[in-house]
Amino acid sequence: MAAGGAVAAAPECRLLPYALHKWSSFSSTYLPENILVDKPNDQSSRWSSESNYPPQYLVLKLERPAIVQNITFGKYEKTHVCNLKKFKVFGGMNEENMTELLSSGLKNDYNKETFTLKHKIDEQMFPCRFIKIVPLLSWGPSFNFSIWYVELSGIDDPDVVQPCLNWYSKYREQEAIRLCLKHFRQHNYTEAFESLQKKTKIALEHPMLTDLHDKLVLKGDFDACEELIEKAVNDGLFNQYISQQEYKPRWSQIIPKSTKGDGEDNRPGMRGGHQMVIDVQTETVYLFGGWDGTQDLADFWAYSVKENQWTCISRDTEKENGPSARSCHKMCIDIQRRQIYTLGRYLDSSVRNSKSLKSDFYRYDIDTNTWMLLSEDTAADGGPKLVFDHQMCMDSEKHMIYTFGGRILTCNGSVDDSRASEPQFSGLFAFNCQCQTWKLLREDSCNAGPEDIQSRIGHCMLFHSKNRCLYVFGGQRSKTYLNDFFSYDVDSDHVDIISDGTKKDSGMGKGI
């Protein structure tokens, strides 16, 4: 505690000066020293390896030992095939003995990216004098690696670093002794093992493991081993390991109840691109539309979870003033008001024209079994253009619908602008169900900044009613599969990046 009862200030994290110490190779004028200067407008201001064959690396030497907490990569002002899609960072007090501090990758854009480096062992900070950056994969296949700018930040205050250095030296000594103990025990050098352990007072492992070794290896008492493992389970010794394991789904087929004379006509046929929503209060699943491999469908079904049975609500919703046959549309359900909304569809390029590309919007009332056309063209009403593979969520409390992403359908041969040949994506819209008005919340952004939202297709989106946030994960944008995870606060218009999808421990794989 500082004088007057004030808490001592945390050590200041600042930029750490460094010099280029060693490198694997470089090509032409793309010298390693170029990474010391941040010039995003200059295409030549970068280090570029002479080849993409491993090992390629840069070794940076700090002016003095420091706790290296973060590394920042600058980039060129445009996307570049030589940007690092995968890389690793190592650090240590000397070049021969380095610890892996980071395994990650850069996005192929122009925004700087900062990564947190491993700088603690058992909650104790450790210092580094050398930092080694090892490129593994560039965004362009078979292209050499390029690094434009590197910035290191952390703590280099000697009053903080020196105690950490002393601890680290002692830690390495203890680890060396433990390796010796392990070697002695493996080769049954009992006297040497006991003598070294008695002299150093260093435990080789957790007491439970020592007990297990005694009962299993020395005594061969398998019953006692089983009891020991059961005790370890009850004491929670496996909890951390179990929490780090990947979840594996266990699927079981649902076979609906069949009635007398029941045939394929009394249950939905095989299809893709359909939509389903569930009423959790009545435990009823609603299914509409899809593609059966030959044509779009307009049938509407309800499945009772309690009764395990399908019921056909309509063979053709268009004949009942409802939506026409479609696939790749989206639905959401208002459980409080017992209403279902559907928006969007996919159209084959051969049937696209100015009339067919209108985005109709329908609502189905469950209690009255009636459809209502809310809009013949949502784009004309300030909403999204005709899209497919988007996402919709319902906020029942505020009576709002949020729709995000999806690919915009365009007429054949239309020349809109320079982006006509590129796929166009829809932004984030809100629909007020009471006023029946649309509002554009966010336009599609090609950038990947902290407050930008990149539209996509095939993503997941959920609305958290208590947090009042939309949560978006994954998807696909053009040829890029996304693995990011972010939330959008519908009240404050704020984006929170939960995971940018580039970290090694980012969880689920990329995909749609």
Say whether pLDDT at 42 is over 90.
Answer: yes
DSSP secondary structure code for residue 79 in this structure: -
Domain extent, residue 57, equals 11-156
Say whether pLDDT at 6 is over 60.
Answer: no
300 assigned to some structural domain:
no
147-200 tens-digit pLDDT: 999 999 999 999 999 999 999 999 999 999 999 999 999 999 999 999 999 999
342 assigned to some structural domain:
yes
CATH number of the domain where residue 341 is located: 2.120.10.80
Residue among 67, 52, 191 nearest 127 (CA):
67
pLDDT at 8: 54
Average pLDDT on 25-51 reads 95
Query: Are 349 and 320 a contacting pair, CB within 8 Å?
Result: no
71 assigned to some structural domain:
yes
47 assigned to some structural domain:
yes
* DSSP line for 375-440: ES-TTTTTS--SEES-EEEEETTTTEEEEE--EEP--TT---STTTTS--B--EEEEETTTTEEEE
What is the distance in angstroms between the CA of the first residue and the CA of the last residue of the chain? 52
pLDDT at 510: 58
314 assigned to some structural domain:
no
341-350 tens-digit pLDDT: 999 999 988 8
pLDDT at 479: 82
Q: How far is CA 5 from the centre of its chain?
A: 43
Q: Which of 156, 179, 198 corresponds to the end of one domain?
A: 156
Cα gap 396→478, rounded to integer Å = 33
Percent of all residues in the chain with a pLDDT value above 90, rounded to a whole number: 80
- Residue keyed to tokens 């020349």: 415
Query: Are 164 and 156 a contacting pair, CB within 8 Å?
Result: no
Percent of all residues in the chain with a pLDDT value above 70, rounded to a whole number: 92
Q: Which of 97, 121, 156 corresponds to the end of one domain?
A: 156
pLDDT at 163: 95
CATH number of the domain where residue 144 is located: 2.60.120.260
Q: Give the range among 162-171, 175-184, 359-368, 444-453 with minimum mean pLDDT.
A: 444-453
Average pLDDT on 199-209 reads 92
- Residue keyed to tokens 């951390």: 240
Query: Are 71 and 117 a contacting pair, CB within 8 Å?
Result: yes
pLDDT at 508: 57
Average pLDDT on 350-367 reads 90
388 assigned to some structural domain:
yes
218-247 tens-digit pLDDT: 999 999 999 999 999 999 999 999 998 988
Say whether pLDDT at 14 is over 70.
Answer: yes
pLDDT at 349: 81
Q: Model confidence at 3, in pLDDT bands (50, 70, 90)? A: very low
pLDDT at 415: 37
pLDDT at 422: 78
pLDDT at 12: 84
Average pLDDT on 450-466 reads 91
Reported pTM: 0.67
16 assigned to some structural domain:
yes
Q: Give the range among 228-232, 285-289, 385-389, 504-508 with minimum mean pLDDT.
A: 504-508
Cα gap 279→232, rounded to integer Å = 43
pLDDT at 506: 47
Q: Which of 156, 173, 206 corresponds to the end of one domain?
A: 156
Report how many domains make up the chain.
2
177 assigned to some structural domain:
no
Who wins on pLDDT, 317 or 349? 317
